[in-house]
């Protein structure tokens, strides 16, 4: 196994949701950094790692809470000896009206005594590109991509300079594509210029992975880098160049698990809707009705009875996924927060009961959903394995106090091919598909 030449981890990362954290960890593993993801700040010190990703559930909480959680994570990562820090948010820049991207960046900069960072959500492999400050999802502007209908963080403006500026009193700038295309030296010069103008955070355009490598190289001396997972591609090379990391490592192998398999879907994204539909053509599935949950009907018990009937024969899906129109109807009746929480809690309760029944492979769709389920399963840390689809690696829980190892795939709502659920279960070791 490859090792870094420093005795402590090099890169300390804070991710604002759980699937985002595994997405970032996937990139770091691909670029040769042994990576462990902890669920919140860990009580134990991860061993044999080059990068640590602390997964928070801070994307949609009140801004003050997101700031406090992020600062606690930073302080713990500093104690672990990390030398550079990374704040990971969504490649679709998911935020609420009050943040939390701007307030968290401000707080991290202040805690690190730093005056500048970049903000770059670009992830070309999943179609997220940024031009003149405008975020595109494939061929569409962010606000026409379906993200305007997100249940918790509707994104109605594709101009990220404007979106970020609304979240912070700090001056927001832009490093536009013509400069980025000239490579890392030019980007470095732009950063110096913006710093002189008092800009504290700059949105950075990028269209391809090679732009991300150039931006990464230009950020070698920043204490804090922020963005989607794509921008992390360029950071490991800086440690190699500094003689702190040996190049050419392979993703670590994950332990095998024995047990049943389920898919839990709490995302209402376009991609998850298509994946749920594809799964239902061939395999059993149980739909959670949020209104019935709200009426106090025994939906969780019904889902478990359904699971009980199928688990021994084949994997099954339990889902709340539905169309934007139906999500809006449910939210109008229950309120956005209550609807989300009811479903997240139901899926978390179901996961705990299924684990007790012998389920060891979980594919979970949705960032908030993954956060709720993984916390309920009492998973504290994940070792990151090979990529299943862009943005989603296979992972295995790092077992403490004799608890069983779980094989997990935490899928961002937007990610994955149409047959992702089957593909992920196979990669986690399920042979009955
Ligand atoms: N049918 C539904 N009605 C209302 N809210 C829903 C429904 N299905 C899912 N949700 C909620 O929508 C949110 C989706 O967020 P998340 O899990 O992060 O998915 P994504 O990764 O697509 O953003 C969750 O809080 C979930 O509980
Ligand atoms: O950067 C991304 O797109 C993902 O890693 C991510 O954070 C997605 O969030 P969810 O769609 O809420 O899972």
Q: How far apart are CA 92 and CA 59, in angstroms?
A: 12
Query: Is 331 inside a domain boundary?
Result: yes
* Overall average pLDDT of the 241-253 stretch: 78
153 is in which domain, residue-wise?
11-241
Ligand 2 proximal residues by C-beta, below 6 Å: 17, 19-20, 23, 90-92, 228-229, 366-367, 391, 412-414
Residue 343 lies in a domain: yes
Q: What is the pLDDT of residue 2?
A: 45
Instruction: Give the model's confidence band at 5: pLDDT under 50 very low, under 70 low, under 90 confident, else very high.
Output: low
404/337 same-domain check: yes
Mutate to test the pocket of ligand 2, among 88, 391, 412 (most ligand atoms within 8 A of CB): 412
**Confidence bin at 6 (pLDDT 50/70/90):** low
174/42: higher pLDDT: 174
Cα distance between residue 154 and residue 94, in whole Å: 7
Q: Is 252 part of any domain? A: no
Q: Does 6 fall in a domain?
A: no
Domain boundary among 194, 211, 241: 241
Can you give the pLDDT at residue 136? 97
Same domain, yes or no: 280 and 228: no
Categorize the per-residue pLDDT at 43 as very low, low, confident or very high, splitting at 50, 70 and 90. Answer: confident
Q: Which two tokens stand for residue 217?
A: 């190289």
The per-residue pLDDT for range 119-156, each reduced to its tens digit, is 999 999 999 999 999 999 999 999 999 999 888 899 99
Taking only the tens place, the pLDDT of each residue in 364-405 is 999 989 999 999 999 999 999 999 999 999 999 998 777 899
Average pLDDT over residues 258-262: 97
Q: Of the residues 241, 270, 303, which one is the last residue of a structural domain?
A: 241
Mutate to test the pocket of ligand 1, among 59, 341, 366 (most ligand atoms within 8 A of CB): 366
Sequence-distant (≥ 6) Cβ neighbours of residue 415 within 8 angstroms: 19, 23, 126, 271, 389, 390, 391, 392
Last residue of a domain, one of 241, 271, 296: 241
Query: pLDDT tens digits, residue range 69-100?
Result: 999 999 999 999 999 999 999 999 999 888 89
CATH number assigned to the domain comprising residue 284? 3.40.980.20
Q: Measured in angstroms, how far is the CA atom of residue 264 from the centroid of ligand 1? A: 12
- Of 44-58, 197-211, 299-313, the least confident: 44-58
Mean pLDDT of the chain: 94
pLDDT value at 251 more than 60 = no
- In terms of domains, do 337 and 229 share one? no
Residue 433 lies in a domain: no
Residue 30 lies in a domain: yes
Residues 282 and 416 in one domain: yes
One domain for residues 216 and 265: no
CATH number, residue 177: 3.40.50.10840
pLDDT band at 249 (very low <50, low <70, confident <90, very high): low
326 shares a domain with 363? yes
How does residue 1 score in pLDDT terms, banded at 50, 70 and 90?
Answer: very low
Q: Are residues 33 and 180 in the same domain?
A: yes
Q: Note whether residue 381 is domain-resident.
A: yes
Give the nearest ligand 1 atom to 59 CA.
18
**pLDDT average, residue stretch 53-63:** 93
Same domain, 208 and 315: no
| CA–CA gap between residue 181 and residue 129 (Å, rounded) | 13
Residues 222 and 351 in one domain: no
pLDDT over 90 for what percent of the chain? 87
**pLDDT value of residue 48:** 82
Residues 231 and 86 in one domain: yes
Distance 121 CA to ligand 2 centre (A): 10
Q: Is 269 in the pocket of ligand 1 (CB under 6 A)?
A: yes
Ligand nearest to the CA of 151: 1
pTM: 0.90
Do 181 and 269 lie in a common domain? Answer: no
Which atom belonging to ligand 1 lies closest to the Cα atom of 334?
4
| Residue 252 banded pLDDT, cuts 50, 70, 90 | low
**249 falls within a domain:** no
Q: In this structure, what token pair is assigned to residue 147? A: 């993200």
Measuring from atom 4 of ligand 2, which residue has the nearest CA?
Answer: 20
């Amino acid at each position: 196994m490859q090792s870094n030449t420093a005795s402590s981890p090099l890169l300390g990362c804070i991710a604002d949701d759980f699937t985002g954290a595994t997405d970032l960890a996937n990139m770091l593993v691909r670029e040769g950094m042994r990576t462990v993801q902890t669920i919140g700040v860990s009580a134990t010190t991860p061993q044999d790692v080059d990068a640590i990703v602390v997964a928070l559930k801070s994307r949609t909480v009140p801004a003050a809470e997101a700031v406090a959680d992020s600062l606690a994570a930073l302080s713990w990562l500093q104690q672990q000896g990390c030398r550079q820090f990374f704040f990971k948010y969504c490649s679709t820049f998911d935020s609420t009206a009050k943040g939390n991207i701007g307030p968290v960046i401000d707080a991290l900069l202040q805690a690190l005594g730093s005056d500048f960072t970049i903000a770059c959500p670009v992830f070309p492999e999943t179609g997220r590109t940024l031009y003149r400050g405008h975020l595109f999802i494939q061929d569409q502007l962010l606000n026409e991509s379906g993200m305007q209908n997100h249940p918790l963080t509707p994104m109605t403006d594709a101009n990220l300079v404007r979106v970020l500026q609304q979240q912070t009193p700090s001056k927001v700038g832009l490093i536009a594509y013509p400069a980025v295309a000239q490579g890392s030296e030019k980007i470095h010069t732009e950063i110096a210029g913006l710093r002189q103008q008092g800009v504290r955070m700059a949105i950075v355009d990028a269209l391809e992975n090679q732009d991300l490598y150039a931006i990464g190289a230009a950020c070698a001396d920043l204490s804090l880098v922020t963005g989607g997972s794509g921008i992390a591609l360029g950071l490991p090379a800086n440690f190699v160049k500094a003689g702190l990391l040996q190049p050419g490592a392979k993703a670590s192998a994950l332990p095998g698990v024995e047990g049943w398999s389920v898919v839990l879907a709490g995302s209402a994204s376009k991609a998850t809707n298509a994946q749920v539909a594809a799964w239902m053509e061939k395999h059993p599935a149980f739909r959670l009705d949020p209104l019935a949950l709200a009426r106090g009907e025994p939906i969780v018990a019904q889902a478990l009875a359904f699971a009980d009937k199928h688990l021994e024969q084949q994997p099954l899906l339990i889902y709340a996924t539905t169309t934007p129109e139906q999500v809006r109807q449910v939210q109008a009746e229950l309120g956005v927060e209550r609807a989300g929480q009811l479903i997240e809690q139901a899926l978390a309760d179901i996961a705990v009961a299924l684990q007790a029944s012998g389920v060891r492979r979980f594919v979970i769709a949705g960032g908030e959903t993954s956060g709720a389920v993984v916390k309920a399963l009492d998973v504290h840390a994940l070792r990151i394995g090979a990529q299943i689809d862009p943005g989603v690696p296979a992972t295995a829980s790092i077992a403490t106090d004799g608890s069983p190892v779980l094989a997990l795939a935490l899928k961002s709502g937007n990610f994955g091919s149409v047959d992702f659920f089957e593909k992920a279960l196979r990669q986690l070791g399920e042979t009955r598909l």
